[in-house]
């Protein structure tokens, strides 16, 4: 069944959307920059977590989380930043997407900070030793770095973080009953491994591949 046929009121034009939403206040538009100012540099320097959005040749969207000690993303200049790669599962969706479509979107988080930083632009994958050496941890160099040329940057307001109580442990939902990663992998992949065997693989990966 076509998705649109399931609903009675589908918004398909900007005019129809704006008729309900209205237009943004000028200050919301004016906060956008095409480079990293001093505030953005400071924010990135304290960020320990970000989301990376890319799209492949078939238009499929991928969102990938990246985390490391604060400041793991390096600002090379006001228009350029570099993100190190760390050992993972080798799916490399982000990298394969960038090879065919260099557009990229980033959202930076600082734990405890309600505002986030949004950056978008174009990216390349590099192996320059000088860049990788800057991002080594415990003498382990990343094999690759994603270098982003910034086209757009702005700070995102705090409303979504406030509404979600993201940084308030007393409001967090219980984790009881949620499946483990091992359970989801065995189920989705119809693996011949038991959940216990898959969990041992997950635990070994965390023990041997983190720095």
Same-domain pairing of 199 and 104: no
Stated pTM of the model: 0.93
Whether residue 35 is contained in a domain is answered as yes
Q: Give the tokens for residue 149.
A: 């040329």
- Residue 87, pLDDT score: 86
Same-domain pairing of 139 and 158: yes
Same-domain pairing of 197 and 160: no
Give me the DSSP letters along 54-118: EE-TT--EEEEEEE-STT-SEEEETTEEEEE-----S--HHHHHHHH--EEEEEEE-TT-S-EEE
Same-domain pairing of 158 and 179: no
Whether residue 109 is contained in a domain is answered as yes
What confidence tier does 210 reach under pLDDT thresholds 50, 70, 90? confident
With a CB cutoff of 8 Å and minimum separation 6, the contacts of 42 are none
Same-domain pairing of 143 and 182: no
Phi, psi of 110 (to 5 degrees): -120, 120
Same-domain pairing of 157 and 195: no
Average per-residue pLDDT for the chain: 95
Whether residue 16 is contained in a domain is answered as no
Same-domain pairing of 152 and 177: no
With a CB cutoff of 8 Å and minimum separation 6, the contacts of 72 are 48, 83, 84, 135
Is 90 exceeded by the pLDDT of residue 28? no
Is 80 exceeded by the pLDDT of residue 45? yes
Same-domain pairing of 194 and 127: no
Reported as a single tens digit per residue, the pLDDT across 124-167 is 999 999 999 999 998 899 999 999 999 999 999 999 999 999 99
Phi, psi of 22 (to 5 degrees): 85, -175
Count the domains in the chain: 2
Domain span including residue 112: 25-164
């Amino acid at each position: 069944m076509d998705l649109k046929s399931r609903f009675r009121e589908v918004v398909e034009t900007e005019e129809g959307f704006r008729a309900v939403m209205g237009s943004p206040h000028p200050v919301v538009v004016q906060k956008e920059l095409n480079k990293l100012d001093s505030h953005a540099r400071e924010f990135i320097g304290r960020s320990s977590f970000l989301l990376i959005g890319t799209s492949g040749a078939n238009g499929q969207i991928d969102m990938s989380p990246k985390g490391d000690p604060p400041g793991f993303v390096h600002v090379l200049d006001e228009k350029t930043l570099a993100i190190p790669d760390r050992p993972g599962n080798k799916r490399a969706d982000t990298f394969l997407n960038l090879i065919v479509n260099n557009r990229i979107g980033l959202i930076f988080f600082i734990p405890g900070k309600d505002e986030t930083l949004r950056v978008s632009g174009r990216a390349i994958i590099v192996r320059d030793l000088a860049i990788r050496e800057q991002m080594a941890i415990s003498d382990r160099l990343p094999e690759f770095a994603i270098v982003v040329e910034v086209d757009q940057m702005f700070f995102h307001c705090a409303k979504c973080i406030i509404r979600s109580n993201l940084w308030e442990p007393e409001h967090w939902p219980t984790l009881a009953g949620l499946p483990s990663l091992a359970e989801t992998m065995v189920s989705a992949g119809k693996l011949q491994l038991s959940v216990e065997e898959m969990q041992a693989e997950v635990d070994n990966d965390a023990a041997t591949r983190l720095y």
